[in-house]
Amino acid sequence: MQDQINGTTGLATLEGMQPFSWQAAAVGEYEHSLPTRHAELRTDLSARILALTGRQISPQEIYTDGSLAVAGVDGVTFRLHHHSLVLVRTCTYCGTGHFEGPKMSSLSDLGYALSTWRPLHEDCEDYSAEDLADF
Ligand SMILES: [Zn+2]
């Protein structure tokens, strides 16, 4: 039994896998770094939220998949992806869907995303723009 497993057939199979060993190495490295990625994303997002809102978010309140991190603060959803912080909001008109706002790096960026930025589906019209007539 033992001789068969360590025989030439097994070696031939391993050699056949060689062209893909770089992929296995990359995937292995990714999986090895995953706990660190999760921790870094949580730390990064909570630090940015603290800087912009003054609210302390615990790591347990932050969802991360290893490439992006998401957290809710007082009903507002923050998302960190590729080191870019954005807000996630629903359609201004129908209240469904998920829209990512402009990249934010300052308090005024956050203010813009909270007030002026009005995400809309292509088929949803924002009739509130008619209020501009009051100016
Ligand atoms: Zn809509």
In this predicted model, what pLDDT tens digit does every residue of 46-67 receive, in sequence order? 999 999 999 999 988 999 998 9
DSSP per-residue string spanning 36-59: HHHHHHHHHHHHHHHHHH-PPPPG
The per-residue pLDDT for 127 is 59
Contacts of 85 (CB under 8 A, 6+ apart): 45, 48, 52, 78, 79, 103, 104, 105
Distance 24 CA to ligand 1 centre (A): 43
Q: Which residues surround ligand 1, an ion (CB under 5 A)?
A: 91, 93-94, 121, 124
The per-residue pLDDT for 66 is 86
Looking at this protein, which amino acid is placed at residue 48? R
Distance 55 CA to ligand 1 centre (A): 30
Q: What is the pTM of this model?
A: 0.74
Q: What residues in the chain have per-residue pLDDT under 50?
A: 1-2, 7, 10, 134-135
Distance 98 CA to ligand 1 centre (A): 10
